[in-house]
Structure 1
Amino acid sequence: MAGPARGGYAENFARLVATGADVDGEARLADALLPRGARVLDAGAGMGRVAAALRERGHEVVAVEPDPALVEQARRTYPGLEVLEADVLALSPDDVGTFDLVVCVGNVLVFLAEGTERQVLARLRSLLRPGGRILAGFHLRGAPAAARHYPPEELVADAEAAGLRVDLRVGSYELHPANDEYAVWLLSAAD
């Protein structure tokens, strides 16, 4: 699943967290989509900020991150947060169970190794409980330098090929109208 390096990501969010900046937008939206005590997978958890925020809101969270440096930073920044060092493609329902929501935010999809998008989306779909959904978001423009461009029509085609449907597309985690800068997607199983 891993693609290009995420230069500066960890340092940037560590600074934001240390200064008390609001870094919970994704977690607030995810929480609003869920019943109390839901089971959530944070795929590409990075330093763990979304997983930690959802855990604080009472959800059972499994955080998965392939980058060992980010796993270590997550454990330092959020003591007690369990973060699995693993690639999403290595996960199976037999190993981690199934989830009410898979969170794949913060540009995770534009950092995938090119050509793995459909595999990753299909794997995430396989980890959903009946009625489960995937919340994803990424920059369409202005992404970090190492990110690749992932046009909305490609995401839709990849999601459909992976057995998913688009239930919602908006322009922010605060549900602003869809735009050409950032995209937030809510996906669910097509069947």
Structure 2
Amino acid sequence: MTLPPTRWELAGERNRGYGETFADRVARGLDVDGEARFLDAMLARGSRVLDVGSGMGRVAAALQARGHDVVATEPDPDLRGQSLATYPGLEVLPHQALALDPAEVGTFDLVALVGNVMVYLGEGTERAVLERVRDLLAPEGRAAVGFHLTPVKAGSRSYPAEEFVADAEAAGLRVVHRFGSYELHEADDEYAVWVLVRA
């Protein structure tokens, strides 16, 4: 199956600063676990987690260190290489979301698409990705999605809250929570963190 290029791919070199920024933060011992703490609070110990668009691996590695069974997937070869160098115990699949087959990878207690994954998807694939997320959820599973609502990063799209909710509902998902940050701030018009379940 031929998949459309993601906005991340099309942005190319304009996004190289992402990996460098987090590599510097990790090297300096700064806190890079905000998303992982949020996700971990939703999970029983030893839960099965899928981190879609795992980037340089910091969220997946933090969840793995907290005792979860984590599958990470990142299509960008440079970020996969950085992940391997930084977290050698974390295996990272080279797939984008639509290449994940539930028959092959199974289902998950939590599917995470954090760090602006949704606003870097291939054009017009948002609903299809959300449908795939639905199919990857265990019966009582949840999805956590976080992204900037306006395009503040190179190559990203604007994704208004009402459009995301409509796409999620059309994909067979239901919003159960919306926050303004991974520290559970009140919802705002800049960043949104969503918790979804099967409708």
CA drift of 1:143 comes to 2.3
Q: CA RMSD in A?
A: 1.1
Following TM superposition, the consecutive aligned residue runs of length 4 or more in structure 1 with deviations greater than 6 angstroms are none
Instruction: Structure 2 unaligned segments of length 5 or more: list them.
Output: none
What is the percentage of aligned positions where both structures have the same residue?
65
Question: Scaled by the length of structure 1, what TM-score is found?
Answer: 0.96
Residue equivalent to 2:18:
9
Aligned positions, number: 190
Superposed CA deviations along residues 27-81 of structure 1, whole A, max 9, x for unmatched, are 0010000001000000000011000000000000000011111111110110110
Cα distance in 1 for residues equivalent to 2:183 and 2:42: 13
The alignment partner of 1:79 has SS state of coil
Cα distance in 1 for residues equivalent to 2:181 and 2:18: 19
Cα distance in 2 for residues equivalent to 1:44 and 1:133: 17
Cα distance in 1 for residues equivalent to 2:60 and 2:132: 19
The alignment partner of 1:8 has SS state of helix
Residue equivalent to 1:173:
182
**Is the alpha carbon distance of 1:57 and 1:170 closer, same or farther for their aligned partners in structure 2, counting shifts above 3 Å?**
same
Give runs of aligned pairs for residues 91-106 of structure 1, distance below 5 A: 91-106=100-115
Residue equivalent to 2:84:
75
Does 2:149 align with 1:140?
yes
Cα distance in 2 for residues equivalent to 1:21 and 1:106: 17
Higher helix share: 2
* Contact 2:150–2:159, Cα closer than 8 Å, also in 1: no
Give runs of aligned pairs for residues 20-169 of structure 1, distance below 5 A: 20-141=29-150, 143-169=152-178
CA drift of 1:142 comes to 6.3
Superposed CA deviations along residues 75-118 of structure 1, whole A, max 9, x for unmatched, are 01101100001121111111111000001000000111120000
70-79 vs 2-11, which deviates more? 2-11
The alignment partner of 1:186 has SS state of strand
Question: Scaled by the length of structure 2, what TM-score is found?
Answer: 0.92
Instruction: Structure 1 unaligned segments of length 5 or more: list them.
Output: none
